């Protein structure tokens, strides 16, 4: 076991060698700590309760097979405890956290933290705390849009300019960007990667808050009033609920109920119940849209709100991630995934006081601390149905790869921009066709490079 821990990076080779030389220290009165992994065990009990009354489990001698990954659990606890100590403000509120870690491919819950004091039972902030999720909901707005490839792609222009919405109560809602600025015409992919509120509201009002509410119910059984502010995450949800929603994206577009129990055995080791994952693919168009959202969220890491992950050395994992911050920085969120793992983190405090933290400076620091230690595969977005093309620097049109400012963009196959804009003038092409200058005057210079869309 020590060798396995050393091989997976849970302990260093030196620690393994020292532990191997240490006496076992077997207790004369062996036992298992009652409060071990209390947050995860809360989830196990809730999922077992669907089939077994509490009285039926007591003294029955049953064996419950769970999905817990001990190494992931230890590393998750360590990430929460160490990071909160670093980011907590002097004279600020005492920080708390909730975290859920899953297998991105199967939907199995591998670890859960519901308290900064990780071995302390009681209020489980990963399951029970309902907090405003803010921008963590934005990817699902864009998921609905990208599921309409005849109207939306990651390269579709959208205005990030002041917007006014008349709400059902007659009041006017004027959402602003977090930086207080408007950014003009941007692409859908940029709007998501950089979490622009005004652009997101435009897209969200087009697809409809009602459809967003329906999507939340389908993916995670959640109910939310479909008012316009839902587009920017004005709804209270748990860490577990958000993990259930992001599992759809992390799995590449599969419906996978999160589970903590694999099976139950009777006292003789015979199987009483198997809890196979009833995952199923979504409609093909929705699954492709999910992968396009993932590409945009990888862009959030390479050039958007989650860019600090690169300086943390996590670039080789090609992770996808989304930050979220509630009003007055009371809640800090981050949801991110690699090829193997999804983790959703909330950081805040039980008194609902401002923390001074944003998604990138609080919850994302916990996520980063975990994934710097947790062995995980890089995220590769593939599968059928996605087509890549080079786009003109300023127009929604295809162009040649070597044109100045050409952008590489992903589309639903068969839905490339209908227009093509070449960067080569006829005289420029004629010069090459003649095989050099051929005694002619020098060709005109290529057209000047237009500024690229942000």
Residues 365 and 430 in one domain: no
pLDDT in tens, 270-294: 888 888 877 777 889 999 999 999 9
Nearest to 136 by CA among 91, 172, 100: 100
Q: Is the per-residue pLDDT at 428 higher than 70?
A: no
Q: How high is the pLDDT of residue 408?
A: 94
* One domain, residues 291 and 394: no
Among 411, 413, 406, 403, CA closest to 390: 406
Split at pLDDT 50, 70, 90, the class of 24 is low
pTM attached to this predicted model: 0.86
- Examine the domain organization and report whether 449 and 332 are in the same domain: no
Q: Is residue 33 part of a domain?
A: no
pLDDT at residue 313 above 90?
yes
Residue 32: pLDDT above 70? Answer: no
Residue 9 covered by a domain: no
Instruction: Tell me whether residue 26 is in a domain.
Output: no
Shared domain for 341 and 201, answered yes or no, is yes
Q: What is the mean pLDDT of the chain?
A: 89
Please tell me whether residues 319 and 435 are part of one structural domain.
no
Which of 70-84, 201-215, 416-430 is predicted least confidently?
Answer: 416-430
310 plus 418 within the same structural domain: no
**What is the Cα 258 distance to its own chain's centre?**
15
Nearest to 293 by CA among 256, 326, 337, 331: 337
Q: Are residues 173 and 220 in the same domain?
A: yes
Answer with the one of 323, 346, 371 that is the final residue of a domain.
371
- Given a contact cutoff of 8 angstroms between Cβ atoms, the answer to whether 87 and 74 are in contact is no
Task: Assess whether 308 and 271 both reside in one domain.
Answer: yes
What count of Cα atoms within 13 Å lies in the side-chain half-sphere of residue 413?
Answer: 10
Q: What is the DSSP string of 123-191?
A: --TTTT--EE-GGGGHHHHHHHHHT-TTT--TT-EEEES---EE-TTS-EE----TTS---EEEEHHHH
Q: Is residue 238 assigned to a domain? A: yes
Does residue 163 sit in the same domain as residue 301? yes
Based on the domain organization, do 338 and 436 belong to the same domain? no
Q: What is the mean pLDDT of residues 150-163?
A: 97
213, part of any domain: yes
CATH classification of the domain holding 223: 3.40.710.10
Alpha carbon distance 271, 433 (integer Å): 75
> For residue 449, what is the DSSP state?
P
Query: Tens digit of pLDDT for each residue in 46-96?
Result: 999 888 877 777 767 888 899 999 999 999 999 999 999 999 998 889 999
CA distance 407 to 426: 23
Does 4 fall in a domain? no
Collapsing DSSP to helix, strand or coil, 274 comes out as: strand
Count of the separate structural domains present in the chain: 2
For residue 152, pLDDT over 50 is answered with yes
Residue 13 lies in a domain: no
User: Of 238-252, 394-408, 418-432, which range is least confident?
Assistant: 418-432
Closest listed residue to residue 287, CA positions, set 241, 222, 219, 335:
219
Confidence of residue 454 (pLDDT cuts 50, 70, 90): very low
Point out the domain boundary residue: 371, 397, 428: 371
Parent domain of 454? 388-454
Same domain, residue pair 318 and 418 = no
Q: According to the model, what pLDDT value does residue 28 have?
A: 54
189 and 286, same domain (yes or no): yes
90-125 tens-digit pLDDT? 888 999 999 999 999 999 999 999 999 998 899 999
């Amino acid at each position: 076991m020590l060798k396995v821990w050393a091989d997976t990076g849970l302990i260093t080779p030196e620690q393994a060698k020292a532990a191997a030389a240490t006496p076992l220290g077997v207790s004369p009165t062996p036992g298992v700590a009652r409060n071990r992994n209390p947050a995860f065990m809360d989830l196990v009990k809730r999922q077992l309760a669907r089939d077994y009354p509490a009285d039926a489990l007591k003294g029955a001698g049953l064996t419950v097979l769970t999905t817990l990954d001990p190494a992931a659990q230890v590393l998750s606890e360590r990430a929460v405890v160490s990071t909160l100590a670093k980011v907590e403000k002097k004279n600020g509120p005492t920080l708390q956290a909730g975290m859920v870690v899953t297998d991105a491919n199967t939907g199995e819950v591998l670890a859960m933290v519901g308290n900064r004091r990780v071995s302390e039972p009681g209020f489980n902030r990963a399951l029970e705390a309902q907090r405003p999720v803010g921008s963590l909901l934005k990817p699902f707005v864009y998921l609905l849009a990208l599921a309409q490839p005849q109207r939306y792609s990651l390269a579709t222009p959208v205005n990030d300019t002041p917007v006014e919405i008349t709400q059902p109560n007659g009041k006017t809602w004027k959402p602003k960007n977090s930086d207080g600025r408007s950014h003009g015409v941007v692409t859908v992919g940029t709007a998501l990667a950089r979490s622009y509120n005004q652009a997101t509201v435009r897209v969200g009002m087009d697809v409809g808050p009602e459809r967003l509410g329906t999507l939340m119910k389908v993916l995670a059984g959640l109910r939310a009033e479909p008012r316009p502010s839902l587009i920017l995450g004005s709804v209270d949800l748990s860490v577990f609920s958000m993990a259930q929603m992001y599992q759809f994206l992390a799995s590449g577009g599969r419906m996978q109920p999160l589970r903590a129990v694999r099976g139950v055995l009777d006292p003789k080791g015979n199987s009483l119940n198997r809890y196979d994952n009833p995952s199923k693919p979504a409609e093909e168009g929705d699954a492709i849209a999910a992968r396009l959202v993932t590409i945009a969220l990888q862009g959030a890491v390479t050039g958007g709100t989650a860019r600090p992950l690169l300086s943390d050395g996590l670039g080789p994992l090609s992770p996808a991630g989304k930050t979220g911050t509630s009003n007055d920085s009371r809640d800090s969120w981050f949801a991110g995934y690699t090829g193997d793992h999804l983790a959703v983190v909330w950081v805040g405090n039980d008194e609902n006081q401002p923390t001074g933290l944003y998604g990138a400076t609080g919850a994302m620091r916990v996520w980063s601390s975990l994934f710097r230690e947790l062995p995980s595969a890089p995220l590769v977005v593939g599968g059928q149905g996605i087509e890549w093309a080079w786009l003109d620097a300023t127009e929604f049109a295809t162009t040649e790869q070597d044109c100045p400012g050409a952008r590489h963009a992903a589309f639903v196959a068969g839905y490339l921009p209908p227009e093509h804009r070449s960067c080569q003038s006829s005289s420029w092409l004629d010069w090459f066709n003649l095989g050099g200058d051929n005694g002619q005057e020098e060709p005109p210079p290529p057209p000047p490079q237009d500024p690229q869309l942000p």
